[in-house]
Structure 1
Amino acid sequence: MNSRIAFLFSTLVIFLISASIYEIDYQALLQFKSMIMNEEVLSSCNTSFHFCDWSGVLCGKQNKRVTALNNNFQGTIPHELGHLSRLCFLQFGYNKFNGVIPTNLSGCSNLEELELYANKLVRSIPKEISLGMSKRTEPAGTGNRLRPKSRTEPARRFYRFRFCRLTSGIPPVLKNITSMEQFSATRNPLGGSIPNTLGNWKILSEFYSGACNLSGTIAHSIFNLSLLTNFSLPVNQLTGSLPSAIGEMLPHLEFLQLRDDMKFIDTLKNCSRIKVLHLINCNFQGVLPTTIGNLSDQLSILSLDGNDIYIYGNLPSSIGNLVGLIGFSLTENQFTGKIPSTIGNLQKLQEAYLYNNQFSGPIPDAIGNLSLLTGLWLNSNKLEGHIPSILGNCHHLLELHLDDNKLSGKIPTPLLQLTSLTIILNLSQNNMSGSLPVEVGELKLLTSLDLSDNNLSGNIPSSIGGCTSLLLLFLKGNTFQGMVPTSLSSMKGVSTLDLLHNNLSGQIPRFSEQLTLLEYVNLSFNDFEGEVPVIGVFANARKFSVLGNSRLCGGLAQLGLPKCKETEKHQKRFPLFVILIPVASTLFTILCFAFVLSKKRKSHPSQSSGDERFMKVSYAQHLKATNGFSQANLIGDGGFGSVYKGVLDDHDGGIVAVKVLHLQNRGAHRSFIAECELHSSASNSRLSLLQRINILLDVASALDYLHNHCLPTLVHYDLKPSIILLDDDMVAHVGDFGLARFLGANSNKNSTSGIRGTIGYTPPEYGVGSEMTSSGDVYSFGILLLEVMTGKRPTDSIFNEGLSLHKFACMALPNHVTDVIDDDLLNFLQEDAIATKHTIANAKKMEECLASIIKLGVSCSVDSPPQRMNIENVVHELQHILNIL
């Protein structure tokens, strides 16, 4: 009887202790909720649910204790979080927290990852944070989602404070956290010196404290951290030198960023694993030592940019020994002399930045040996002589910058036959002469061509109209003559046309009326004659210039030109033919898909009610806005309707897209209903990583069939998530072939007449009239893949000011992929890791898989079509990733 009572009593004690522990977590979370300001992310944080089901809260599978917090918060960090003793991961990066870091976070004795970067936190890193964290071992039943440990292995610490406003230096007391594996405090005004006590971090592999206002010497104990791979301390005020035996002391060093004395280069010869050497904004002075060629042949990135005290003298020929270089940058220094021909030995080189120096002499022919080169920047030097024709061997070259030099001679024809050039060809501010070769028309994918301020002469060849992807065309400051070729009307996407200071004549070409994206045209100081147009770009005096053409007349009143004589207007104007096209009664349904793009509506979309968001526009207003549904305003034409650009004068000149449905075509009505539905609001939260990869593999396999096994090749032309259908077995099917086209002998007839498809998923080349290709589908697939993995649409509001979904993902490669992965997916992976007790090897494999998938999406969605992956290779890569998993 006594033993039974004892058993019941002990059970009750265990229950009460457990309940007490849970209550501590619960109360801490309630206090946390009361002190942060983002109500949307706290909508699930109420007593109707167990706190383990709250948004942003993750608990252990067995003990139901809080192990991780991750969400979009603002306000101050409450000190009650220190009561969460089982908390393993505190991930508050990229939030809006202000105030100080709570000192009693030391109560979180199981804390492994502390991520507070990119907030508005102030004052210091609390020294108390190291208390209670120095000897903790991993308890049973818990684990890091990507770094599981045994019961006795010390928890490895990852502390990230970068991009905050912390001061008062790096606390020496942090030495007690001997399990520190990564420490990052970049771009905090910490000040002070690097404590010598940090040498206690024996397993430290990554240390980042660039731009922290640190001074003094680098603590010698740091060089005893033999596991260090990444060491970054640029833009500080550090002095002294590196130990001569650094190669032996840090045998695993791969990434180095410093601001130090030039002599330290001699000490790096034994760093056999070093891959990245960033020496940006340093205090270097003098010449670059020839020992630069003694660095490891594993070195892939070498940057010596923008030094406060310039590096001068010749570039040593020993640079040719660094055969592993992929990226090489020497910008904004005072290098002189010739570029050594040994640069041709760098067979792996992809990007070379040598601009803003004093290099002279010819461009070495050896550069033509760099077959993998994608970008070459030699601008703003004193280079002279001819442009070597052998540059035509660089078949991967995307951009070439040779401007602001003393180059002369004719433009070599092989250079203009580099169809890989898609970004820019800049030969401006040189002494180039002769005519512009007709081969210029072969640059069909080039977006910017600048030949300004040379001595080019003759007529502008009509073949230039073949540059259908051009956005920017600069031909100013030459002696071109004759009429502007009408073939320029083929450049549907051109936004800037500069013909200033030439000898061009004839009337101002009327093709400008067809170039609807033209934002600025400069025709000044030529010999144009006749009437200045008043439509298109010429309807706004701020968007064009015709100064210095004495024989012009008419135009806008602001120009102050004489009126044109009636005889001139009728004799010299090209004949106009007006064709009246009756609108059939079957085209009676007009749907306005795009709304007025006024700043007011764009900046306050969430405040608009349903009635306010949809304008009431009459048929007469549509007719006027589209200029009678004119062919000039047609921007897309599909099986069920046509889309026109329109300007609504009665609505602040707002630009709209008007769709006219062809109701005589079967299925048009259903298409109308389908297009009225909103994009599914359901998230990817129900899909595991394996399911997502299988879906992507299904879609890629479908495209592979269309592109490589269907005769003739079929291009889908409108791939996006909303047309991917899942059956009961979770097999993905590609639907909606309304815009699909066969490619074959007459593929040139499939050139786009305007932007079709769906914004965000349509490749950029389609927007400027390029032909349909299978690589366009690959681009759309790449964006779809990135959306599936990041949970972000390409049209999300965060993607502005130059940031796109592609760049967002690209910037995370290769070491920060988890920063962009969909939170729901990360939660899946974390729960799975805790439940199955994954090994460290499995965790590393998972990280590599995520990086491989993101890299795949980035490779598919590059702007340049030739650089995108073949869909057949995409299928193989996805299958390989599945096999690893």
Structure 2
Amino acid sequence: MFPTFSLWLSFLIAFNFFQNTFTSTLGTETDNLALLKFKESISNDPYGILASWNSSTHFCKWYGITCSPMHQRVAELNLEGYQLHGLISPHVGNLSFLRNLNLAHNSFFGKIPQKLGQLFRLQELVLIDNSLTGEIPTNLTSCSNLEFLYLTGNHLIGKIPIGISSLQKLQVLEISKNNLTGRIPTFIGNLSWLAILSVGDNLLEGDIPREICSLKNLTIMSVFLNRLSNTLPSSCLYNMSSLTFISAAFNNFNGSLPPNMFNTLSNLQYLAIGGNQFSGTIPISISNASSLFNLDLDQNNLVGQVPSLGKLHDLRRLNLELNSLGNNSTKDLEFLKSLTNCSKLLVFSISFNNFGGNLPNSIGNLSTQLRQLHLGCNMISGKIPEELGNLIGLTLLSMELNNFEGIIPTTFGKFEKMQLLVLQGNKFSGEIPPIIGNLSQLYHLSVGDNMLEGNIPSSIGNCKKLQYLDLAQNNLRGTIPLEVFSLSSLSNLLNLSRNSLSGSLPREVGMLKSINKLDVSENLLSGDIPRAIGECIRLEYLFLQGNSFNGTIPSSLASVKSLQYLDLSRNRLYGPIPNVLQNISVLEHLNVSFNMLEGEVPTEGVFGNVSKLAVTGNNKLCGGISTLRLRPCPVKGIKPAKHQKIRIIAGIVSAVSILLTATIILTIYKMRKRNKKQYSDLLNIDPLAKVSYQDLHQGTDGFSARNLVGSGSFGSVYKGNLESEDKVVAVKVMNLQKKGAHKSFIAECNALKNIRHRNLVKILTCCSSTDYKGQEFKALVFEYMNNGSLEQWLHPRSVNVENQRTLDLDQRLNIAVDIAFVLHYLHLECEQSIIHCDLKPSNVLLDDDMVAHVSDFGIARLVSVIDDTSHRETSTIGIKGTIGYAPPEYGMGSEVSTYGDMYSFGMLLLEILTGRRPVDEMFDNGQNLRIFVEISLPNNLIHILDPNLVPRNIEATIEDGNSGNFTPNVEKCVVSLFRIGLACSVESPKERMNIVDVIRDLSIIKNAYLAGKYDRYL
């Protein structure tokens, strides 16, 4: 038996050897084929790293391949960061021994292959920063040994698949920066080994599930930039002592932060919850989080005093900006003393809060490592402590828009590393200290809108890296030092406007070859405009108005091909307008008003559009396009004698015309028996040149229905074409049968004749005459707006959805800003404040560039101040606006006020965002547009937002891998706009948001939206 058993055993060993050899050979062939198929799917290999993948060497020696020593099978495929472009071949799923697949930082596109689910030995899958689309493959959950899953930075859609709950060994789940939707699933709590959860920058919504608190090993939780809402699960989340990193910024979380929040978070190093709606105070327990190095609480609704932070010895970044912290009291900044213990602090911001009082001397005891200090937009007062100069590590210091006074300390000369210094909008006095020249690294200096005096120090020429210099609106005098023009680094701005600078603009200005904007307006400068200014080849904006420049306009300006805006008005320039200026193709605005220019006005380029050109106040100019209404230029070659005859004939014709006109006026007077009051009213509109009834009748084809643009309370508006204006115009014909129409006509003339603003509809002329039937006729002629009214865009009449015009968010935001600027101008900038009284979409017109222009001042009120008492010149008794837009107090007999316009603006803003009228038929049982918005914010934003601003079909959007334009950044912008609308339309007039704050907040929202500010939270 023994020999037989031995023989059998030998046979088994041999068979097993040959079987393993055969299996191994078959396996290596499978791996080889899989890798070659992977190579075939690569369409671009810029570094040529796959060149080694050929039959001349074994695949275990190919670049990026690591094989297992025993089986010679592929265990690792690592091609990270080589900019490979192509698809991920499904044949990768045949690499059955693969443990690590790393294709991060390439340009792979298409879907993640389902066959990757066959890799049951896979432990690490890294596909970060590619362009992969589709959903996370469900088969991937079959990789039961997977420990690390990195899918961040792709275009993945759909929900987080439930199958991930089967990956019991998973330690890292990073799927941020995709377009994932749905909720954070509750099964996350089953992944007991999970240490890192990163799902930020997606479209996730709902709560953070309480089950997350079961993850005892969780150290990093990142959910930033989603649509998550309600409160954080504080009862358990803040008890997770393992947490070192929490990023929940830019969601819709609300509620207050629990007082004991930081009692158990002793290991927490990073906390970023900015850009939410947290309220209440900063918990005192924060001092227990002694390991914190980053604390971002910005852009919330936090109030009260900042607690002591002195125990946070490792703190490097502290951001509290854009809250409501502080009470404008002397105690607001006491916490700064505790920060002197934070010796590692690098960045500190309290901008845009309510901090008051003086800046304490202890500010100079902050960390010498401090790089950025943001104090702007508060109510801090008093002098700047000299001790601030001790912070020699500062590269950025912003203190703008406070109430600082006194001199700029000479200790600022220690800021040798300073790059950006912003002090504008305070009450600084004295001179700009010469030590400013010590700041050799400075690239941005802004000290405008203060009370600084004296000369501009020549030492500023030492700031060789300066790109932005703003010294505007001070009391600076003397000449502009040549050292300023030696700063060839100046590329963004040189603004010296609204000072008392004298002397000439030297020819050295031509050294600023990279300057984009140059503003020396409203000074006492004189002499010629130097020809060398034509050497500023990148100049786009040039403001020289309000000085005493003389001489001629240099033709060298035509060399500045990038010039878009040129203002030379209110100087003493003479001679002709150079014809070569019409060759600047990008020139959008030219103002040469109120000089002594003469000769023929060119007709091409900017001179061919009267809306872009201003030549008023130059009595010797002639010609130009007909809409300028300048006198014709003399015909060359006519002899003096002939001129004399022409003058005689012209005199006779003029005399006859005067007699004939007088006869007509007398006849009309007798027929109509007008009273004195009518004539005294008409005297108010004399500055407007008038057209005849015949002109208007012909220009509108007899006021035909096909030219009817719209109608309102006191008249109808027709589209017309006047020969005298040589352009398409809008003619508002008053319905004089309607009571109050006559007063409306006078009011609108008086309101519009002396006001000018880019966002007001420009009145061209008027008509006060009789029609062909001898009936009284009054009309106003305005610029015609090709894009119609905002009403037509928000509420199109077309039933054909495909042909309907819609407004995107950019346009709506710009329109809101345009309207706000008009109200600011009417209420605060006019010599006599004007209350519009009827702000609504039909009174907002849009030009070719979709710029908004406010119209219809038929019921406007002029407000004059006499002996400190406001008097309103009422245009139409009893008419105070339109239902839905007029404030509630008007219905109770209250006088019109700027508060009323703010209410109208608020309701208009809500309508712009929702696409619903204030009196929409859907509102019943006492509900209105304001209540509809208020009860829906912020959790039900899609319900209230205009459907044109929401992706047409969310499911379809998910399927095609496109999240649309409704990103979290957009959502943050929209919610902020809604809040402005609500704040403006509260019932109590004095509690409404004022126009100054509206302008400020709209500017912040617009800048943040355009700059993608929210993306800085990663």
Separation of aligned partners in 2, 1:524 and 1:531: 15
Alpha-carbon distance between aligned partners in 2 of 1:552 and 1:92, rounded to the nearest angstrom: 68
Q: Which residue of 2 aligns with 1:233?
A: 297
Q: Which amino acid aligns with 2:567?
A: D
User: 1:74: how far off?
Assistant: 4.3
CA contact 1:134–1:176 (8 Å) conserved in 2: no
Equivalent of 1:435 in 504, 507, 512: 504
Quote the residue 2:268 is aligned against: 204
Q: 1:482 to 1:269 in 2, by over 3 A?
A: same
Match for residue 510 of structure 1 among 549, 557, 579: 579
Deviations 1:617-674 (A, max 9, x none): xxxxxxxxxxxxxxxxxxxxxxxxxxxxxxxxxxxx9xxxxxxxxxxxxxxxxxxxxx
- Structure 1 counterpart of 2:318, one-letter code: L
1:325 aligned to 2:415? no
Cα distance between partner residues in 2 of 1:493 and 1:568: 39
Change (3 A) 1:274 1:554: same
TM-fit CA distance, 1:134: 0.2
Counterpart of 1:494 in structure 2 is: 563
Instruction: Give, in whole Å, the separation in 2 of the partners of 1:171 and 1:317.
Output: 44
Corresponding residue for residue 103 of structure 1: 186
Partners of 1:277 and 1:812 in 2: CA distance: 18
Where do residues 442-481 of structure 1 align in structure 2 (5 Å cutoff)? Answer: 442-481=511-550
User: Would the alpha carbon gap of residues 317 and 64 (structure 1) be closer, same or farther in structure 2, given more than 3 Å must change?
Assistant: closer
The counterpart of 1:339, out of the listed 371, 395, 408, is: 408
Q: 1:384 to 1:457 in 2, by over 3 A?
A: same
Q: Give 1:50 shift.
A: 5.2
Who is 1:524 aligned against? 593
Cross-structure match for 2:353: 282
Distance change in 2, residues 1:254/1:569 (3 Å): farther
Q: Aligned partner of 1:288: which letter?
A: L
Q: For each residue in 1:79-130, what CA deviation from the matched residue of structure 2 results, as whole angstroms up to 9, or x when unmatched?
A: 5544444444444444444543322222333444433334444332221112
Amino acid at match of 1:205: Q
Kindly provide the amino acid, as one letter, of the partner of residue 447 in structure 2: L
**How does 1:310-389 map onto structure 2 within 5 Å?**
310-389=379-458
Distance 2:386 2:469 in 1: 23
1:314, distance to aligned residue in structure 2 (A) = 0.9
- Structure 1 residues 79 and 266: alpha-carbon distance in aligned structure 2, compared to 1, 3 A threshold: same
Q: Kindly indicate whether the alpha-carbon contact (under 8 Å) linking 2:431 and 2:453 is maintained by their aligned counterparts in 1.
A: yes
**CA–CA distance in 2 between the matches of 1:560 and 1:118?**
58
| SS of 1:293 mapped into structure 2 | helix
Which piece of structure 1 moves more, 461-470 or 322-331? 461-470
Deviation at 1:537, TM superposition (A): 2.1
Say if 1:814 and 1:414 are closer, same or farther in 2 by CA, change over 3 A. Answer: farther
Query: Match of 1:172, as an amino acid?
Result: S
TM-score, length basis structure 2: 0.48
Q: Paired residue for 1:401?
A: 470
Aligned mate of 1:547, from 616, 629, 648: 616
State the partner residue of 2:460: 391
Instruction: Sort the Cα spacing of 1:569 and 1:221 in 2 relative to 1 into closer, same or farther, 3 A.
Output: farther
Please identify, of 399-408 and 106-115, the stretch whose mean Cα deviation from structure 2 is larger: 106-115
CA displacement at 1:341 relative to structure 2 = 1.4
Query: For residue 312 of structure 2, what is the aligned residue in structure 1?
Result: 250
Q: 1:86 to 1:503 in 2, by over 3 A?
A: farther
Distance 1:569 1:77 in 2: 87
Asked if structure 2 preserves the Cα contact closer than 8 Å seen for 1:93 and 1:119, the reply is yes
Which digits, 9 at most, give the CA deviation of each residue in 1:722-755, with x for residues without a partner? xxxxxxxxxxxxxxxxxxxxxxxxxxxxxxxxxx
Which residue number in structure 1 is paired with residue 365 of structure 2? 294
Name the SS of the counterpart of 1:376 in structure 2. strand
Q: Distance in 1 between matches of 2:463 and 2:534?
A: 24
Answering whether residue 150 of structure 2 is matched by residue 68 of structure 1, we say yes
Query: Which of the residues 235, 238, 252 maps onto 1:175?
Result: 238
Gaps in structure 2 of 5+ consecutive residues: 6-11, 17-92, 94-107, 120-124, 327-331, 640-847, 849-969, 974-1002
Alpha-carbon distance in structure 1 between the residues aligned to 2:174 and 2:440: 44
What is the total number of aligned residue pairs between the two structures? 529
> What's the CA shift for 1:441?
1.2
Q: CA deviation at 1:509?
A: 0.8
Deviation of 1:46 (Å):
5.0
Contact 1:68-1:87 within 8 A present in 2 as well: no
SS of residue paired to 1:214: strand
**Which residue identity is paired with 1:114?**
L
1:117 and 2:200 matched: yes
Kindly state the Cα deviation for residue 337 of structure 1 after the two structures are TM-superposed: 1.4
Q: What's the secondary structure of 1:180's corresponding residue?
A: coil
- CA pair 111-528 structure 1, distance change in 2 beyond 3 A: farther
Q: Tell me which amino acid in the other structure corresponds to 1:134.
A: K
Q: Which has the higher contact order (CA 8 A, sep 6+)?
A: 1
Spell out the pairing of 1:184-195 with structure 2 (5 A cutoff). 184-195=247-258
Q: Deviation per CA, 1:531-582, whole angstroms, max 9, x where unpaired?
A: 2212222233332222222222222222122332331899xxxxxxxxxxxx
Counterpart of 2:150 in structure 1: which amino acid?
A
Q: Deviations over 1:145-204 (max 9, x none)?
A: xxxxxxxxxx63232334534222453311354332211122333222334254433332
Superposed displacement of residue 78, structure 1 = 5.1
Q: What is the letter of the counterpart of residue 226 of structure 1?
A: S
The aligned counterpart of 1:304 is 375
SS at match of 2:277: coil
Structure 1 residue ranges without an equivalent (≥5) = 9-25, 27-39, 136-154, 571-652, 654-799, 820-885
- Give the counterpart letter for 2:189 in structure 1: S
Are the equivalent residues in 1 in contact too, given 2:205–2:226 (CA < 8 A)?
A: no
Secondary structure of the residue aligned to 1:264 is helix
Distance 1:415 1:340 in 2: 22
Q: Please list the CA deviations of residues 401-422 of structure 1 after superposition, one character each: whole Å capped at 9, or x if unmatched.
A: 0111111111111111111111
Task: Supply the distance in 1 between the matched residues of 2:486 and 2:394 (Cα, whole angstroms).
Answer: 27
Contact 2:230 2:255 in 1 (8 A): no
Once the two structures are TM-superposed, the CA of residue 215 in structure 1 deviates from its matched residue by 3.6
Q: For 2:412 and 2:147, locate their aligned partners in 1 and report how far apart those are by CA, in whole Å.
A: 59
3-state SS of paired residue (2:621): strand
Shift of 1:232: 1.8
C-alpha distance in 1, partners of 2:365/2:636? Answer: 78
Contact 2:149-2:174 at 8 Å conserved across structures: no
User: Normalising to structure 1: TM-score of the pair?
Assistant: 0.55
Q: Deviations over 1:213-253 (max 9, x none)?
A: 33444444432233211112234454665665x44x32211
Specify the SS of the correspondent of 2:501.
strand
What is the distance in 2 between the residues matched to 1:408 and 1:569?
A: 51
Residues 1:161 and 2:230 are matched in the alignment: no
Q: Which amino acid aligns with 2:418?
A: L
**The structure with more radius of gyration:** 2
- Partners of 1:465 and 1:569 lie apart in 2 by 38
Contact map agreement 2:198 2:220 (CA 8 A) in 1: no
C-alpha distance in 2 between matches for 1:542 and 1:83: 68
Whether contact under 8 Å (2:478, 2:502) holds in the other structure is: yes
Q: Distance in 1 between matches of 2:461 and 2:525?
A: 21
Q: For residue 364 of structure 2, give the secondary structure of its aligned residue in structure 1.
A: helix
| SS of residue in 1 equivalent to 2:408 | coil
CA contact (8 A) 1:79 1:103 kept: no
Amino acid across the alignment from 1:306: C
8 Å contact 1:380–1:403 — kept in the other structure? yes
What do residues 810-858 of structure 1 show as CA deviations (whole Å, max 9, x unaligned)?
A: 9999998xx7xxxxxxxxxxxxxxxxxxxxxxxxxxxxxxxxxxxxxxx
RMSD: 3.9
**Distance (Å, rounded) in 2 between the aligned partners of 1:226 and 1:408:** 53
